[in-house]
Amino acid sequence: MKATGLFASVALLAFTVPAHAQDEEARVARVLKATPIIDGHNDWPETLREREGEGRWTIDLRRGLDRKPQPYNTDIERLRKGMVGGQFWSVYVSANLPGPEQVKETLEQIDFVHQLAARYPETFALARTADDVRRIQRSGRIASMIGVEGGGQIDGSLSVLRTYHDLGAGYLTLTHSLTIDWADSATDDPKHDGLTAFGEEVVRELNRLGMLVDLSHVSEATMRDALRVSKAPVIYSHSGARALDDHPRNVSDDVLKLVAANGGVVMVNYAPSYVSDAYRRWSADRGAERTRLNAPPFGGLYIGQPDKAKSALAQWEKDHPAPRVTLAQVADHIEHIAKVAGPDHVGIGSDFDGTGNELPDGLGDVATYPQLMAELMRRGWSDANIAKLAGGNILRVMEAAEKVAAAPGSTRTRK
């Protein structure tokens, strides 16, 4: 009898734990079925262009891209597992290119997103509005939006901006990594103390068009200027909380309060340097060591000896292992933004396929969104707030921007 009783107790324990986990999984699935994930930033189109070249037009994107020599974070099979219902695809091009070349490559990237939807119409459909997104989600497909990731990509021309809009672009990131003629970047020397007069005109034109103003990558002065000028809610397509990681790409508490007053949303990035302050400092030290070892054209310990420099850097990394970055730390950023700005002002902007496969443990690809939602549920998040985070908040922002564009007086003489 004792053996039987013990067996029954063990069996009951074994049954109870999976049942609890199964219930949590069911809860996540229920919320995400009603409000699927809408991610503010994924670099899959640019990474396919970089790695596959012309082969990007024919490569099978349905499954198996995680098994490539350089694994991708994204393919259709894993998007489905991740319960993704909407995606802003970044059409990033290098900020170092001349302006006309940036325009050309941006048009090619936009065309690739269009072709992605054309090649897989059972999976993707292009979306411009919040209603488009909801309609496409009801059809069981993934709403595909376009984000232009850098103000340099308009080459100082509102006509180019309008052309991107006409081709389906949904947001413009005001800068990328470099300060441009009309806006300061977070990661370059400032020249304008924020936005110039033309930069403010760009924000007004985005409002008029119904495109979202994206403040990821810009300096804090640029953030403040844009928040002052914009009549529509802004977004941060892929940023974090500066209180947790003092990276200039992240958003300070003071600005988070301005975002809440504006009605905007900060979509949390997974890139380790923006998630973990320890990793950010380690990454800076690694960069300094790389420069010390091999820094053309100015010289370095192993200038002209790339194999020795690579070996020495590998030894440094072995002696100075990278700090661990985890799913829980991403959840910390989400919770901090929700605490300071409110749960109506936070979303997901993973930066998948844009981090060089450096990602937090537990968030290695687009199949993992449900695990992040489950972590927040374990922390006490309600289904309603999970739904806002997953997609509700960005849909609200899109609708608000559409209303601003449609308001009387929003149409003016184009320049």
Show which residues are catalytic: 41, 43, 149, 176, 217, 238, 351
Q: Encoding tokens for residue 341?
A: 């700005």
Three-state helix/strand/coil letters over the chain = CHHHHHHHHHHHHHHHHHHHHHHHHHHHHHHHHHCCEEEEEECHHHHHHHHHHHHHHCCCCCCCHHHCCCCCCCCHHHHHHCCEEEEEEECCCCCCCCHHHHHHHHHHHHHHHHHHHHHCCCCEEECCCHHHHHHHHHCCCEEEEEEECCHHHHCCCHHHHHHHHHCCEEEEECCCCCCECCECECCCCCCCCCECHHHHHHHHHHHHHCCEEECCCECHHHHHHHHHHCCCCCEEEEECECCCCCCCCCECHHHHHHHHHHCCEEEECCCHHHHCHHHHHHHHHHHHHHHHHCCCCCCCCCCCCHHHHHHHHHHHHHHCCCCCCEHHHHHHHHHHHHHHCCHHHEEECCCECCCCCCCCECCCCHHHHHHHHHHHHHCCCCHHHHHHHHHHHHHHHHHHHHHHHHCCCCCCCCC
Looking at residue 117, its amino acid is: A
Query: Distance (Å, rounded) from C-alpha 323 to C-alpha 360?
Result: 10
Q: Which two tokens stand for residue 331?
A: 């959840």
Q: Judge residue 399's burial from the number of C-beta atoms within 10 Å of its C-beta, 0-12 exposed, 13-18 middle, 19 or more buried.
A: middle
Q: Secondary structure of 291-352 in the HEC alphabet?
A: HHHCCCCCCCCCCCCHHHHHHHHHHHHHHCCCCCCEHHHHHHHHHHHHHHCCHHHEEECCCE
